[in-house]
Structure 1
Amino acid sequence: MSSQIHFQTHLPNPGRVYDYVLGGSHNFEADRQAAEFMISLVPSTRKWVRMLRAFLQEAVRLLAEEGFDCFLDLGSGLPTMEHIHSVVPHARVIYIDIDPVVVAYGREILQDNPRVRYLQADMKQPQTYLNAPEIRDLFGDQRRVAIGFSGVSPFFTADEMRRVMHELYEWAAPGSKMFATFETKEPGKMTPRLAQFLAMFEQMGQPFYFYTFEECQELVRPWQPDWRGFQPLVRWLNLPDDYITEEDREGAGIEFYGVILEKR
């Protein structure tokens, strides 16, 4: 780690917490303690997070096979543990995160990779990054792009998600696709441990929202699911049907869905 970047190592950082849960090494003791406390509240966290990263990798490979070589990823976190640029090293990738520490550390990890840019921007304010000179520099006039919306839906209110989906749709060229995940639970179901888990995010200034499956289908409009449709992550990843147990659903009917959306 470069001494030029000043980390508040005594405070947990969401990007480093995520790295730890994925099994990475770019984290500190405060991050590990926060992650383990979250896992103690919701033991299935580790399993779901690793499935989220596996879906990202699978979706990126599929889209690369379809000819996409420009990827715009929202709420990227640290570019570790086989993130997009590692899965498709020939592609041009723009990562976006609002956290200045994550961005600074991410840029250091990338080591001036000429095919990758890391922008500090609010994923909820598309005009702050869609008009950024780095996008024109890396993508040129290309607007048929693959957009990453993986693992970030819980941090959007419904109104924020509708607005961002519309703005990204208007910017992207026809034929563009978006790989997205959605964390759902059954309406009205909650447990004390899950409520405490959500309260942790509230305290970190990042409220966490679960949606129903039906709400997710409505919130992605005007994007449309491609021929694969919405599927639980276990199906995307060809995992056994019993890989997710009733205990993993945490008494609230938790399910994670993946989808590849398209602008037709």
Structure 2
Amino acid sequence: MERRIAAMDTSIPNAGRVYDYVLGGTHNFEADRQAAEYMISLVPSTRRWVRMLRMFLQEAVLRLSAEGFDCFLDLASGLPTVDHIHQVVPHARVIYVDNDPVVVAYGTQLLEGNPRVRYIEADIRDIDALLKSPVIPELFGDNRKVAIGFNAVTCFLADDEIRRIVHALYDWAAPGSKMFATFETKDPNLMTPRMQQFVDMFERMGSPYHFLTLEKSIELMKPWEADEPGFQPLAEWLGLQDQITEADREGVGLEFYGAILVKR
């Protein structure tokens, strides 16, 4: 792990560290900060939406913890910083997953000494291999009634990949398990040059990015069923409707949704 961190090329922006910077974190480098500021200059609402994504995660985790969930499997986690799951519910057992070896190495170092948290290096597109990881039963025991984080993920996956992952998780999880998820949507008929440049930046960081519609998001999450209150804009989840303006739609009908889903 230390060798990976030492070998890290900090002159190249990394999506996980860019996200950390936009959240207000400190685990990032100058290249990450420059990339983030450039993306914010293209899409000024980026910081607002990213912070709402993290606020939804916190709200969902607290709700699920209050329902009795104490095992959280979080997919495509990024860096475990800025009030991530293990900080919001410190009594819970948490497994973070990411496919970026540098993010995992750095994240593991940050979590050192916490016996209730693990970090798995895995690509969620190979979901079957991930679910066979010995780390899961080592930390969760035989408990498969778990809370699964699927946040800011669908924008980086093809539709068939989302379907396969969602079905595999449904088959693996015990009845009563829940998934807390977010979805990045826009009007499919609208695109601006600035938004296209924003999307292209993710491509250059090795993380191709695309938007779904709300209808497609709902379809792709089946057979999981939406728990109350269903698929709702993040601003409604958080009671912040008055803080989203037309300018935040960025001329493309930009909207972020959150949902808690359940396996009956």
TM-score range, shorter chain: over 0.9
Question: In 2, distance between residues paired with 1:243 and 1:123?
Answer: 34
Q: Percent identity?
A: 66
Supply the AA of the counterpart residue of 1:121.
Answer: A
Normalised by the length of structure 1, the TM-score is 0.97
Question: In 2, distance between residues paired with 1:33 and 1:21?
Answer: 11
Are residues 1:197 and 2:198 paired? yes
1:249 counterpart residue number = 249
* Runs of 5+ consecutive residues of structure 2 not aligned to the other structure: none
By how many angstroms is 1:3 displaced?
Answer: 7.7
**Higher mean displacement: 194-203 or 114-123:** 194-203
By how many angstroms is 1:4 displaced?
Answer: 7.1
By how many angstroms is 1:112 displaced?
Answer: 2.8
1:18 counterpart residue number = 19
Per-residue displacement from partner, 1:95-123 (whole Å, max 9, x unpaired)? 00000000000011011310000000001
Question: In 1, distance between residues paired with 2:186 and 2:125?
Answer: 23
- Classify the secondary structure of the residue corresponding to 2:96: strand
- Seen in structure 2, the aligned counterparts of structure 1 residues 40 and 133 have a Cα distance that, compared at 3 Å, is same
Are residues 1:47 and 2:48 paired? yes
Supply the AA of the counterpart residue of 1:48.
Answer: W
1:103 counterpart residue number = 104
By how many angstroms is 1:152 displaced?
Answer: 1.2
Question: In 2, distance between residues paired with 1:160 and 1:126?
Answer: 10
Question: In 2, distance between residues paired with 1:256 and 1:4?
Answer: 34
By how many angstroms is 1:203 displaced?
Answer: 2.0
- Classify the secondary structure of the residue corresponding to 1:124: helix
By how many angstroms is 1:242 displaced?
Answer: 2.6
Per-residue displacement from partner, 1:75-134 (whole Å, max 9, x unpaired)? 000000000000000000000000000000001101131000000000121112111011
Question: In 1, distance between residues paired with 2:231 and 2:4?
Answer: 44
Are residues 1:131 and 2:132 paired? yes
Supply the AA of the counterpart residue of 2:67.
Answer: E
Structure holding more helix per residue: 2
- Seen in structure 2, the aligned counterparts of structure 1 residues 128 and 4 have a Cα distance that, compared at 3 Å, is closer
2:179 counterpart residue number = 178
Supply the AA of the counterpart residue of 1:54.
Answer: M
- Residues 1-264 of structure 1 aligned to structure 2 (within 5 Å): 5-6=5-6, 7-239=8-240, 241-264=241-264
Number of residue-to-residue matches in the alignment: 263
Question: In 1, distance between residues paired with 2:16 and 2:165?
Answer: 22
Question: In 2, distance between residues paired with 1:204 and 1:243?
Answer: 30
* Runs of 5+ consecutive residues of structure 1 not aligned to the other structure: none
- Classify the secondary structure of the residue corresponding to 1:190: coil
- Classify the secondary structure of the residue corresponding to 2:126: coil
- Classify the secondary structure of the residue corresponding to 1:151: coil
Supply the AA of the counterpart residue of 2:254.
Answer: I
Structure 1 residue runs of 4+, over 3 Å off? none
Per-residue displacement from partner, 1:203-238 (whole Å, max 9, x unpaired)? 222111101111111010010101210110011111
Normalised by the length of structure 2, the TM-score is 0.97
Supply the AA of the counterpart residue of 2:259.
Answer: V
Kept in 1, the 8 Å contact 2:14–2:205? The answer is: no
